[in-house]
Amino acid sequence: MNWRIVRRFARGEDGAAAVEFAMVAAPFLALMFAIMETALVFFASQTLETAVADSARLIMTGQAQTQSYDAAAFKSAVCAKISGLFDCSGGLKIDVKTYTSFGSVDNSKPLDANGNLKTNFGYTPGGPGDIVVVRLMYQWPVYASLLGFNLGDMAGNKRLIMATAAFRNEPYQ
């Protein structure tokens, strides 16, 4: 065995930066993907909040009731405000309910024990002076679940993004 070649190889520092980068690259990329996904979830949440505020105004002012909106018409009005970011055909769920008082509003998470979205949603926009709660729910798929970081809170590696508006209908005619 040629010891001179072995000693020269052991002293050589060629490629040290590549080895150091290989050790740091995986955690760095995982962190970058986690940051990007978290930012995207926050952006989607804010978009849904804006959509619920705008679309709830249709019910609060009586436009949805006087123009005979049903659940499908209200959903298409909501989808017109959030197109491009969400899949309105299957992922978006809308729940519009009327309550007798603000204290009786059910604000629990609409998930069953297995982490699946419940299906008992309705569309009851109420009349003048009624208390109404509009909830928009979307099952956002989570992709970056590396290094123990997982935004998913539902079955199937999804996150429930939910926006709510509670209000009293105006006395429209």
Convert the pLDDT of each residue in 65-114 to its tens digit.
999 999 999 999 999 888 778 888 878 899 999 999 999 998 888 888 88
Task: Determine how many CB atoms are found less than 10 A away from the CB of residue 75.
Answer: 19
Strands in 118-168 per DSSP E: 131-141, 158-168
Task: Determine how many CB atoms are found less than 10 A away from the CB of residue 32.
Answer: 11
pLDDT, greater one: 133 or 85: 133
> Do residues 96 and 125 touch, judged by C-beta distance below 8 A?
yes
pTM for this predicted structure: 0.79
pLDDT of residue 12: 64
pLDDT of residue 150: 67
pLDDT of residue 29: 85
**Cα separation values, 160 from 44, 131, 138, 142, 155, Å:** 11, 25, 6, 10, 10
